[in-house]
Structure 1
Amino acid sequence: MGETVINNEPITADAKILLEAKNLTHEFDYKLFENINLDLKQKESIAIIGISGSGKSTLLNIFSSLLKPKYGEIFYNNKEIYKLKKRELLNIRRKDFGIIFQAHYLFRGFSANDNLEIATLLSGNEIDKDLLKRLNIDFVLKQGVGELSGGQQQRLSIARVLTKKPKIIFADEPTGNLDKQTAQVVMQTLHKYVKDNDAGMILVTHEDDLAMQCDKVYKLENLQLEELK
């Protein structure tokens, strides 16, 4: 698949802030984290690492509007997302937020191409054939989702998200089922999308080498985000 080159050009001081989190605190039967603050800018990728159970996926769900925090605020386009009307928030989630889950949530009764077509209907965008070639899934489009390997399903779900042309990508272990070489291709594809489209990405991963390819790296530990890079 070729050598992977990640373009980590510096993020300029005047780059637009896409997402701003202020004083996020959340708990279940115990406190997961408190007073988390984070800014995501255009063309910027942020990785969050930490041990299993530290709250990484929960924090990502809060960033992506899927879970309301116990305390704190999140601003997108200078609007506090959890104060928006339900319809307005759903519209942002559908058009501007691209969420890559650990589970693929593909429509199993349909073909791979059908799953991509659904994304085009929702977004009005066309399927990017070059993207499918880069992810090495261009030859599986006629196959049913159930006929695909776990890795192919994962790459298809990523292609479906990128077809939306989101402003922000929220990725939860996007390379979890992939071999090392394919994982590098996926990360290169995500970074290229972020840089080329003035987008941003928040990534949760347990793989330190993939995390370090991002512009910033944070570790969620002892209720706080510690900046490592």
Structure 2
Amino acid sequence: MELLRAENLNHSFDYPLFKDLNLSLNTQDCIAIQGSSGCGKSTLLHILSSLLCPKQGNVFYKNKNLYQLNENERLNIRRYDFGIIFQTHYLFKGFSALENIELASVLSHQKLDEKILEKLGIDKLLGHKIGKLSGGQQQRVSIARVLCKKPKIIFADEATGNLDFENAKNVIELLISYVKENQAALFFVTHDNKLVNFCDKTYILNSNGIC
């Protein structure tokens, strides 16, 4: 079943990024996006996840045009249906790891999934303040926070950038397992040529779109 569809996307800042880009995400799809630095990978992720209106083109989620909805409707989709893992963690520094994760679960009305915490290897770190955790541990907390929301689409922007390969491999396998088991989808931006092999499809983004 189709979850997300992008039609004829065009975007630019001071220079053109991509034009006439078309893409679809179906349930259980795990798609990796690669490309040179500055080609617009993160910008595309922001557009597809409802955070940035494209200069031209449309994005449909479950056949609803995201950018014809009002901001409250988009906010509800981001809160309940989309999970976004950024390069920067955006964790609350004064909170513990558990409090950061629980906050997302409460806002999305989902029960905390302890198995996810165990699989990410952070179940023994839950009482630690975020500021006391390493960059890799914080990244895994931010990933747990997203998965515990039970999203229908996971948008991951260099989600494994702060992790060694073994932990990165564990994360991508967990994300893919979640997608397959929950009829969800994954849009994964990465520079890691090894991790893309775990995904169903890999696209290269350039000024002409994706290939």
Length-normalised TM-score, structure 2: 0.98
CA distance in 2, matches of 1:94, 1:124: 10
What does residue 94 of structure 1 align with? 79
Deviates further, 35-44 or 111-120: 111-120
CA distance in 2, matches of 1:58, 1:151: 24
Length-normalised TM-score, structure 1: 0.91
What does residue 186 of structure 2 align with? 201
What does residue 218 of structure 1 align with? 203
Gaps of 5+ in 1: 1-15
1:106 to 2:125 alignment: no
Gaps of 5+ in 2: none
Deviation of the 1:223 alpha carbon: 3.0
What does residue 21 of structure 2 align with? 36
Q: How far does the alpha carbon of each residue in 1:92-142 deviate from its partner, in whole angstroms, 9 at most, with x for none?
A: 011000000000000111101111110121122121111111100000000
What does residue 12 of structure 1 align with? none
Deviation of the 1:50 alpha carbon: 0.5
Deviation of the 1:56 alpha carbon: 0.5
CA distance in 2, matches of 1:81, 1:122: 21
SS at structure 2 position matched to 1:126: coil
CA distance in 1, matches of 2:105, 2:26: 26
Deviation of the 1:221 alpha carbon: 2.0
SS at structure 1 position matched to 2:194: helix
Deviates further, 187-196 or 124-133: 124-133
What does residue 24 of structure 1 align with? 9
- AA aligned to 1:68 is C
CA distance in 2, matches of 1:124, 1:63: 24
SS at structure 2 position matched to 1:208: coil
CA distance in 2, matches of 1:98, 1:63: 12
CA contact (8 A) 1:31 1:223 kept: no
What does residue 66 of structure 2 align with? 81
CA contact (8 A) 1:97 1:170 kept: yes
SS at structure 2 position matched to 1:159: helix
- AA aligned to 1:24 is L
**What do you get for the CA RMSD once the two structures are aligned?**
0.7
The sequence identity of aligned pairs, in percent, is: 56
1:156 to 2:145 alignment: no
- AA aligned to 2:38 is G
What does residue 118 of structure 1 align with? 103
Deviation of the 1:43 alpha carbon: 0.5
Deviation of the 1:208 alpha carbon: 1.3
Decide which of 40, 62, 86 is 1:55's aligned counterpart. Answer: 40
CA contact (8 A) 2:105 2:111 kept: yes
1:189 to 2:181 alignment: no
CA distance in 1, matches of 2:159, 2:53: 23
What does residue 49 of structure 2 align with? 64
SS at structure 1 position matched to 2:198: coil
| Deviating 4+ runs (over 6 angstroms) | none
Q: How far does the alpha carbon of each residue in 1:21-50 deviate from its partner, in whole angstroms, 9 at most, with x for none?
A: 000000011100000000100011110001
1:45 to 2:9 alignment: no
- AA aligned to 1:75 is F
